[in-house]
Amino acid sequence: MPTFKLTIAYDGTKFSGWQAQPDRRTVQGAVQDAWQKITSESVQVTASSRTDAGVHALGQVVGVSSATHLTAEQLHRALNALLPPDAVVKRVDAVPDGFHATYNAVGKRYRYRIHNDRCRPLFDRDTVWHVPQVLDANAMHQAAKVLIGTHDFASFQSAGSERESTVRTISCIEVRRVKGEHESLLEIDVEGNGFLYNMVRIIVGSLVEVGLGRRDEAWLAASLKACDRRQAGRTAPPQGLCLMRVDY
């Protein structure tokens, strides 16, 4: 049976997350509804990441097996004609049988955006976290280095989606203040081989504590070592988070 790999972008503001839920508007539900209208098939698509309500994506990857005779190009056009305006299929690729968007992923990159200004954001209010107090981006960047590598990230996992192992590898964390006219914007990029539930948002919430001068690098290292969710910072709100890329 043909298998397709869909790369999808969406504005998560008005979606109740990725995963299909009864009587809820979800990205998975929108994709499956569009697929059924095109092929008359009821399929269950799988995604690389089950993003939460309010979380966005530029590079979500979705896998679907189908008996359709339509080409990848035909499916691409048809899906974009039927999907709502806040979701778009960037590309459709035919892939070998057995491809699984979740289990075959070897790495992901997320970006978190913070509007760091006393004045609240307007046009990008649904895609940033507003932190009015001044943040020290350099201190955040330096402190984040203790999280790079292979560690037990139990302190950075919310309850509700327990995993067999809480060990993950982070290959890169970058914290930077965007130069130019948008210097009020901070971007935090986190790349790794996989992430626990709310892991990136808890990392961001912890780094903000450092940026505000309330905590330091030693605290972040101790929080990591504790393997206790109570020792890390708050969970940053969902709207600042975006899934940028998935590697296979």
Domain residue ranges in the chain: 3-95, 107-247
Residue 134: which pLDDT band, with cuts at 50, 70 and 90? very high
- 111-120 b/e with 16+ CB inside 10 Å = b? bbbbbbeeee
d(CA 48, CA 54) in angstroms, rounded, equals 17
State the DSSP code for 77: H
- What CA–CA distances, in Å, run from 181 to 53, 78, 178, 185? 30, 39, 8, 9
CATH fold match for the domains 3-95 and 107-247: yes
Detail the DSSP E strand segments found in the chain. Answer: 3-10, 46-47, 56-65, 87-95, 107-115, 129-130, 149-152, 167-177, 185-192, 241-247
Whole-number pLDDT of residue 159:
85
Average pLDDT over residues 186-205: 97
The pLDDT > 90 percentage for the chain reads 95
- Catalytic residue chosen out of the listed positions 11, 23, 52, 126: 52
Q: What is the largest CA-CA distance in the chain?
A: 59
What CATH number is given for 3-95 in this structure?
Answer: 3.30.70.580
Residue 164: which pLDDT band, with cuts at 50, 70 and 90? confident
Residue 10 assigned as binding residue: no
Q: Is the pLDDT of residue 69 over 70?
A: yes
Residue 183: which pLDDT band, with cuts at 50, 70 and 90? confident
d(CA 243, CA 10) in angstroms, rounded, equals 10
- What CA–CA distances, in Å, run from 68 to 2, 5, 30, 64, 179? 8, 14, 19, 11, 48
Q: Is the pLDDT of residue 181 over 70?
A: no
Residue 181 makes CB contacts below 8 A (sequence gap 6+) with none
Query: What sign for the dihedral angle of Cα 179, 180, 186, 189?
Result: negative
Tell whether domain 107-247 is in CATH 3.40.190.10.
Answer: no
pTM of the model: 0.95
Asked about 247 being catalytic, the answer comes back as no
Whole-number pLDDT of residue 163:
80
Neighbours of 65 (CB within 10 A): 19
What are the pLDDT digits (tens) for 223-232?
999 999 999 9
| Kind and range of the H or E run holding 227 | none
Q: Is the pLDDT of residue 72 over 80?
A: yes
Average pLDDT over residues 168-193: 92
Residue 46: which pLDDT band, with cuts at 50, 70 and 90? very high
Q: What are the backbone angles phi and psi of residue 220, rounded to the nearest 5°? A: -65, -40
Whole-number pLDDT of residue 160:
73
Residue pair 239/127 in contact by the 8 Å Cβ criterion: yes
**3-class state of residue 225 by DSSP:** helix
Residue 174 is encoded by which pair of tokens?
């970058």
Whole-number pLDDT of residue 182:
67
- What rounded mean pLDDT belongs to the chain? 96
Q: Among 122-131, 169-178, 179-188, which stretch is predicted with the lowest mean pLDDT?
A: 179-188
